[in-house]
Chain A
Amino acid sequence: MLFFKIPIILCLIVSFTFCTPISIIVSNDSSIDNISKNYLKNLFLSKTKQLPNGKKAIILEPNDSKYNSAFYKNVTGKTEKQLNKYWATMIFTGRGQPAKKVNSIMMLIDYVKNNPNAITYVPTETIKNNEVKILLNLK
């Protein structure tokens, strides 16, 4: 029986990982209340450095490849390979830089809380009460 259970459990873990809802967050002090997926794509692909309110964005992301791939696939439609090809051109010609990676989700949320120009994405379940402003939920 265990022989059948293991693959089922593994499938559940995998599907849970890939279906974890992701939220785009900013500080409660930010003047931005919402953001379109297209604007988000332009920000995270370094095509613009400006937030919708005109301020220079501090773009951050978790240092966790499963959230990174889920986010970029959803927002940009690009796979990791396509992104690497894109970033190679952007970085080596000095046209743009990828988002800065932060090792812990808690540190990421804390940073965003205290910086009105910071923007990031985190798993929705990691956000407590109304500590930050959610601009968009991705599923």
Chain B
Amino acid sequence: MKHFLCLICSFFLFSNTAFAEQINESLTLNGYGNISSYTSSNNKDPNKEKLDLGVGFQGRYSITENLAATAQMSISTNDAFDSLNNYDIEKKWLYLDYYLGADTTFRAGLFQLPIFQSLETGDIGYTKTWTDDPLGIYGVHGYDNFTGAEVLKNFLYDDKMFSLQFSYGVADAELGNTPNRRIYETSETDNLMGITFKIIDENYKINLGYLHAHSDLNRVNKNSGITTANGKTKLDMFALESQFSIDDFTIKAGVIDGKISRVLPDEFRYYTSLEYNIDKFTPYIYYSYEKLTNKSINPTPPAPPIVQVNEGKEKFSLGLRYELSSNSALKFSYSNEDRYRKNKNIISNIESTTRTKSDVFRLVLNVVF
């Protein structure tokens, strides 16, 4: 595996291949790669210095004129400084799509979660100006993909493209299953529903999304193998993202608000960014804010809850994207991250806050092929 990843990385560094390789009339292959180094000034950060490598491959096979199959998988290391043998292989997308006519497509299979751009294009760094996403949204209820069906409908009006996407499916995830924990939770969702609406014009894009899901939570004891039900939870998530371009300036902003009925924290996150393109260089700046409101803790049931824990993160980032070639980009950024955790005693109203500030440097190489 080590040799394979090294070979892929060398290929990225020294190649300038055309994007989208058409193998024959029916089969197209694509791929992406990321090499990312991370250095933090925070001595308590377990990943103070980190090197991540990741590659992804996608194949699309046209079965008939209207029917096609697509598969996408990714291979990534958690920290290549540690060991290149510690890697994850993940199925990202696996679906059949059928063109129904009138710009309407039905597809069924495995999908990344819709509603927010960074959920769909999570690993494909080349599509983004930044070294890292302003908001750390990698999924909901512990999962970032679902199995089900989607209908996509595009229509043009007054030279603007309108796009509507309906998603329905099931998903499951393991929460907190780490080697040092005896008990972990599972989340099973059998009615995930999403609606995403996009307007795309020459100088602006607007993306509006809503996601709804009910999950069954279970507690698993690794030693005894016993699973006990831990109730149900409901999720409602709204997202709004926009992008406006004026000459060489681009302004982006997004907000996401997730309400979860119990156990898992409510989420509220937003970001705004400004970038300016000068030929191969795109300097940028962004600000992001994330707030997680945990459910009140009840140490001695059935007594009422007494502790409320809120966590948050503010991040400023300054960075530069440089186009190395038509399919690769080198990026550098400096970020100041300020994390806080507030414990509030609901009865006495006494609040204690712990803060962690850190300066983070990132150097990233993104490729698509």
Contacts and interface: CB of A to CB of B under 8 A. Distances in A.
Interface string B306-348: 0000000000000000010011000000000000000000000
B66 interface: yes
Nearest to A77: B202
A97 B121 contact: no
Contact of A88 (B72, B93, B127, B154): B127
Nearest to A117: B65
Interface residues of B, number: 41
Nearest to A80: B326
A95 B152 contact: yes
A92 B18 CA distance: 16
B107 A88 contact: no
Given A48-B103, A91-B58, A97 B124 contact: no
Interface string B149-178: 000101010010101000000000000000
Interface of B: 18-20, 22, 25, 28, 30, 32, 56, 58, 60, 65-66, 70, 72, 93, 95, 97, 99, 101-103, 107, 111-112, 120-121, 124, 126-127, 152, 154, 156, 159, 161, 163, 200, 323, 326-327, 368
Contact of B20 (A38, A56, A93, A98): A98
Given A47-B156, A88-B32, A94 B19 contact: no
Given A47-B200, A48-B154, A92 B20 contact: no
Contact of A92 (B65, B102, B121, B163): B121
A66 interface: no
A88 B156 contact: no
Contact of B22 (A56, A87, A100): A100
B124 A88 contact: yes
Nearest 8 CB-CB pairs, A to B? A47-B161, A80-B326, A88-B368, A93-B120, A89-B127, A88-B127, A84-B19, A81-B326
B124 to A, nearest CB: 5
B97 A92 contact: no
Interface of A: 38, 42, 47-50, 54, 56, 58, 65, 80-81, 84-85, 87-89, 91-95, 97-98, 100-101
A105 to B, nearest CB: 17
Most buried by B among A38, A91, A92: A92
A56 B66 CA distance: 9
Given A42-B161, A48-B156, A80-B326, A92 B19 contact: no
Given A47-B200, A88-B368, A100-B22, A93 B121 contact: yes
Contact of B28 (A42, A65, A95, A97): A97
Nearest to A45: B161
B323 A81 contact: yes
A101 B200 CA distance: 26
A62 B36 CA distance: 36
